[in-house]
Amino acid sequence: MYIKTENCEIKTCNNKQLKSDIDRLAEKNFDLPTIKLKPGQSKDDFLPAIEELIESLKSSEEATEDEMFEVTVDDKTAGYIRLVEGELQVAFLPEYQGKGYAYETLSAFLNDYDFQALIWRANPNNKASIRLINKLGGTLDKKATESVGGIIETYTLKK
């Protein structure tokens, strides 16, 4: 699969590239100085999001190529989209968050991808994720339940 949007490209991800990205992130070998910090923020504020991204990518190593998609901006990895048993999982590096790339990418992806309904799980404290799923037309199915990863809410996206 290949989709080009105004600012992003979405392409099927091969596991070799994914493994390289996992190793790079796990070694904390990413360019944190490119992150634009808001007043009162430090680089440490982004470490939980990066750790979450690493764990998401590690669990994706077994994914087939049809389930995993790389999102690039200016030929640099910005994030990943993963589809697992009807669940949509999205992870963007901190320096690409808050710029509209996730919405632009997911709008195009969902328009192109053949599905009836997809599940999206989000921590209720992740306001950006909740705004994104609502903007994409998702509806809340299950309010705040305990899971292995903590408290989550479950949303459904329908075509």
pLDDT in single tens digits along all 159 residues of the chain: 889 999 999 998 766 666 566 555 555 544 444 444 556 656 566 566 666 666 665 555 555 444 788 899 999 989 888 888 888 988 888 889 899 999 999 999 999 988 899 999 888 888 889 999 999 999 999 777 776 667 888 999 998
Q: Which domains does the chain have, with CATH numbers?
A: 2-101 (3.40.630), 115-159 (no CATH)
State the pTM of this model. Answer: 0.70
What per-residue confidence (pLDDT) applies to 64?
Answer: 46
Give the Cα separation of 61 and 69 in Å (integer).
12
What per-residue confidence (pLDDT) applies to 47?
Answer: 61
| 87-92 vs 76-84, strand pairing mode | antiparallel
DSSP state of 157: E
Count of beta carbons in the 10 Å neighbourhood of residue 6: 7
Please say whether the beta carbons of 105 and 71 come within 8 A. yes
The angle that helices 47-60 and 15-26 make with each other, rounded to 10 degrees, is 150
Tokens of 118: 């997809």
Give CA separation, 25 vs 79, 103, 152, in Å: 12, 23, 25
